[in-house]
């Protein structure tokens, strides 16, 4: 299964993984500009991406902890998420996201 | 700490520190702290009572002109106090560094009102403080982006963003950090921020392999108002450049403490395992000699923390790097000397190993120091 991330230059990157892989880890492994400083412990918001609105409703709602971190993000959008909290699954196969500018 | 290697002379030439016995009150606190080190390291016990006693004993004031207790006091004595405590518990020494750095920012601000308001409490250990300078130091070196952005409003700035790790925090504690102007990224400013009610929100989401009791939190800035009277420098100017050598030198107290703790552990192991330990390639005497040399260098550098020359900065970065590398080597050697007893969960030697890694990765980490030294080499 995979997710597709569009970077700030409009280039698409296909992230391939297995069920349960966090998108943040796959993006980092692919060399995208994602730091993931807190290893998914919801302490940093350095894995912020914008989910394609067509996919946003298929994701589980952010927890209060994720919402609190998202409140600190500079380029917040209606479909902003922390990608450490998004894991590949059959339902999300082909998920599309973009990196903030 | 009966085996802490000490320089041959209590007054190292060039530093003119107070006599060695001025550290005795700190040593008494260190001895009482040792049995609590595991709980601080692993269970998250914040050593606030110990820090208050260290403040009373004068550990946080040697580098603060208005509060030093001995005319010979300077940054070097603050480092020595931290070393004594770090040999028992580096988590507590790390909190001391946070407190010392916070006082150092106030020492170097042009905002005399802020200094007069906050520094007495910091110096006395009645107001706890931390430092959020890791991100700014890296951002100013081009390693990462500024994590905090400020918008000008009447009477101050509204700040947004998140700092992942700031230590020695709790409700009511203060810390210094740098913001970037959202409207003008070239305009940076440094301010003090208070945690809790109406201020920045602290959250403890992550667990670390050590130092759990150091009050380390993510700090969430959700439109936090920072009043003009809390600003340390606006514009930032050379503030970070000015405080950086002192900031880095103070960190060496943590590392020297780990080295001293490892030396003590090697001596302890040698009492029963000495016949075999003598075959190890690195012996305790080598670490004692390296510790002594390094500490004398640091004493000398600490006497002039505002010397901004390239040669001085290079010497500070080199000393800090050598402390990191020696701490790693000494902690490893302590384990090799101790054998299986050091490998048991909860052993003091296992804690020293984890602490030594912290010395090596805290900003500026070994890789950042090497990067900066290479960049300086081009000047």
SS (H, E, C) B12-79: CCCCCCCCHHHHHHHHHHHHHHHHHHHHHHHHCCCCHHHHHHHHHCCCCCCCCCCCCCCCCCCHHHHH
CA distance B254 to B168: 14
Task: Characterize the bridge pairing of strands B174-181 and B129-132.
Answer: parallel
CB contact under 8 A, A46 and B149: no
pLDDT digits over B69-83, tens only? 888 889 999 999 999
Which token pair is B127?
A: 């107001």
Q: Which two tokens stand for residue B178?
A: 């740098």
CA dihedral B291, B294, B296, B299 (to 10 degrees): -120
Q: In a 3-state reduction of DSSP, which class is residue A46?
A: coil
Measure in Å the smallest separation between the Cα of A1 and chain B Cα atoms.
29
Provide the 10 A C-beta neighbour count for residue B71: 8
Min Cα–Cα distance to chain B from A94, Å:
30
pLDDT at B142: 84
Tokens encoding B66 = 């208005």
- Concatenated DSSP letters of B236-268: -TTHHHHHHHHHHHHHHHHHHHHHHHHHHHHHH
Of A18-22, B202-206, B299-303, B318-322, give the lowest mean pLDDT range. B202-206
Q: Please check whether residue A86 lies inside any domain of the structure.
A: yes
Q: Is the pLDDT of residue B343 over 70?
A: yes
**Spatial separation of the C-alpha atoms in residues B78 and B64, rounded to whole Å:** 10
Decide if A65 touches B, using CB distance below 8 A. yes
Q: How many helices (H) and strands (E) does chain B have?
A: 13, 8
In a domain, A35, yes or no: yes
Nearest residue, CB atoms, A42 vs list B144, B201, B205: B205
DSSP B121-171: HHHHTSS-EEEE-HHHHHHHTTSS--SEEEEEETTEEEEEEEEEEE-S--T
Which CATH number is A33's domain given? 3.10.20.30
Assess whether pLDDT exceeds 90 at residue B181. Answer: yes
- Considering only CB atoms, which chain B residues are within 8 Å of A85? none
Q: For chain A, list residues with pLDDT below 50.
A: none
Q: Which residues of B touch A37 (CB under 8 A)?
A: 164
Give the pLDDT band of residue B379 (cuts 50, 70, 90): low
Cα(B39)–Cα(A28) distance, rounded to whole angstroms? 35
- Whether the CA torsion B139, B145, B146, B152 is positive or negative: it is positive
**Strands A95-98 and A2-6, how do they pair?**
parallel
Under 8 Å between Cβ of B364 and B373: no
B66 vs B58: CA distance, rounded Å: 12
Structural domain tally of chain A? 1
The answer to whether residue A100 sits within a structural domain is no
Q: How confident is the model at residue B17 (pLDDT cuts 50, 70, 90)?
A: confident
d(CA B139, CA B147): 9
Find where tokens 């984890």 sit: B354
* Contact check, Cβ <8 Å, B205/A45: no
CA A57/CA B191 separation, integer angstroms: 40
Q: Is the ipTM beyond the 0.90 threshold?
A: no
Between B72 and B157, the more confident residue is B157
CA distance A58 to chain B (A): 26
Domain that holds residue A88: 2-93
Contact between A41 and B221 using a beta-carbon 8 Å cutoff: no
Helices H, strands E: what count in chain A?
3, 5
Query: What is the pLDDT averaged over residues B124-147?
Result: 92
CA-based nearest distance B119→chain A, Å = 30
Q: Note whether B263 and B330 are within 8 A (CB).
A: yes
User: What tokens does B19 get?
Assistant: 């006599």
Q: What is the DSSP letter of B318?
A: H
Average pLDDT across chain B, whole number:
93
Residue A89 lies in a domain: yes
B-chain CB neighbours of A35 within 8 Å are 144
pLDDT grade, residue B15 (50/70/90)? low
pLDDT digits (tens, 9 = 90+) for B365-377: 999 999 999 999 8
Average pLDDT over residues B40-45: 94
The residues with which B129 forms a beta bridge, in sequence order, are B174
B1 pLDDT above the threshold of 60:
no
- Of residues B137 and B61, more confidence is placed in B61
Which structure tokens are listed for B36?
Answer: 């609590």
Return the residue in A63, A66, A72 with the most chain B beta carbons within 10 A, the one to mutate for interface testing.
A72
Segment B112-137 mean pLDDT: 96
For residue B11, pLDDT beyond 90: no
Query: How far A15 CA lies from chain B's nearest CA (Å)?
Result: 24
Strand ranges, E, within chain A: 2-6, 12-16, 48-51, 80-82, 95-98
- Cβ <8 Å between A72 and B162: yes
Separation CA B194–CA B211 (nearest Å): 22
- Residues contacting B306, CB < 8 A, separation 6+: B242, B245, B246
Of B278, B200, B240, the C-alpha closest to B108 is B240
Rounded Cα distance, B153 and B246, in Å: 33
State whether A46 and B220 contact (CB < 8 Å). Answer: no
From CA B121, how far away is CA B103, in angstroms rounded?
9
Residue B330 binned pLDDT confidence (cut-offs 50, 70, 90) = very high
B207 interfacial to chain A (CB closer than 8 Å): yes
**Structural domains present in chain B:** 20-124 (1.10.540.10), 129-233 (2.40.110.10), 239-377 (1.20.140.10)
Mutate which of B138, B201, B208, B218 to disrupt the A interface (most A C-beta within 10 Å)?
A: B218
- The set of residues, in sequence order, having a beta carbon less than 8 Å from that of B374 and lying 6+ positions away, is none
Give domain status of residue A12, yes or no: yes
Residue A99 lies in a domain: no
0.90 exceeded by pTM:
yes
pLDDT attached to residue A93 = 97
How close, in Å, is residue A6 to chain B by CA atoms?
A: 21
Kindly tell me if the per-residue pLDDT of B282 is higher than 80: yes
Residue A98 covered by a domain: no
Contact between chains at A43 and B205 (C-beta distance less than 8 A): yes
- Contact of B121 with chain A, judged by CB distance below 8 Å, is answered with no
CB within 8 Å of chain A, chain B residues 154-173:
160-162, 164-165
């Amino acid at each position: 299964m995979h997710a597709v991330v569009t970077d700030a230059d409009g280039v698409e990157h296909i992230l391939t993984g297995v069920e349960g892989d966090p998108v943040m880890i796959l993006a980092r492994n692919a060399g995208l500009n994602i730091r993931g400083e807190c290893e998914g412990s919801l302490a940093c918001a350095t894995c912020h991406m914008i989910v394609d609105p067509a996919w946003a409703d298929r994701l589980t709602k952010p927890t209060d902890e994720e919402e609190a971190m998202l409140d600190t993000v500079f380029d917040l959008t209606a479909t902003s998420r922390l990608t450490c909290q998004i894991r590949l699954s059959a339902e999300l196969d082909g998920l599309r996201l973009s990196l903030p500018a | 700490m009966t085996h802490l290697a000490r320089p041959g002379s209590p007054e190292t030439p060039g530093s003119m520190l107070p006599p060695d016995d001025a550290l005795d009150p700190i040593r008494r606190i260190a001895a009482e702290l040792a049995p609590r080190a595991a709980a601080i390291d692993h269970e998250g016990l914040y050593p606030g009572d110990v820090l208050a006693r260290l403040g009373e004993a004068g550990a946080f004031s040697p580098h603060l002109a208005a509060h030093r207790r001995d005319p010979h006091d300077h940054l070097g004595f603050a480092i020595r106090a931290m070393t004594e405590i770090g040999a028992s518990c580096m988590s507590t020494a790390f909190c001391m560094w946070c407190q010392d750095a916070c006082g150092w920012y106030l020492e170097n601000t042009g905002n005399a009102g802020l200094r007069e308001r906050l520094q007495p409490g910091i110096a006395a250990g009645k107001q706890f403080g931390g430092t959020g300078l890791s991100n700014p130091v890296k951002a100013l070196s081009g390693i990462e982006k500024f994590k905090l952005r400020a918008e000008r409003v009447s009477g101050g700035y509204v700040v947004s963003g998140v700092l992942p790790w700031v230590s020695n925090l709790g409700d009511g504690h203060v810390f210094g950090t740098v913001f970037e102007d959202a409207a003008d990224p070239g305009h940076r400013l440094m301010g003090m921020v208070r945690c809790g009610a109406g201020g920045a929100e602290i959250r403890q989401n992550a667990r670390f392999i050590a130092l759990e009791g150091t009050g380390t939190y993510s700090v969430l800035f959700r439109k936090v108002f920072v009043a003009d009277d809390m600003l340390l420098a606006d514009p930032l100017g050379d503030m970070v450049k000015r405080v950086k050598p002192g900031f880095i030198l103070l960190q060496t107290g943590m590392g020297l403490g780990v080295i001293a703790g490892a030396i003590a552990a090697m001596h302890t192991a040698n009492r029963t395992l000495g016949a075999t330990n003598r075959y190890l390639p690195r012996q305790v005497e080598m670490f004692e000699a390296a510790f002594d040399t390094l500490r004398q260098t640091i004493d000398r550098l600490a006497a002039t923390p505002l010397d901004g020359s390239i040669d001085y900065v290079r010497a500070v970065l080199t000393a800090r790097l050598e402390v990191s590398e020696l701490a790693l080597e000494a902690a490893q050697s302590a384990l090799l000397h101790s054998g299986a007893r050091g490998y048991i969960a909860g052993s003091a030697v296992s804690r020293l190993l984890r602490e030594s890694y912290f010395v090596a990765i805290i900003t500026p980490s070994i890789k950042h120091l090497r990067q900066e030294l290479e960049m300086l080499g081009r000047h």
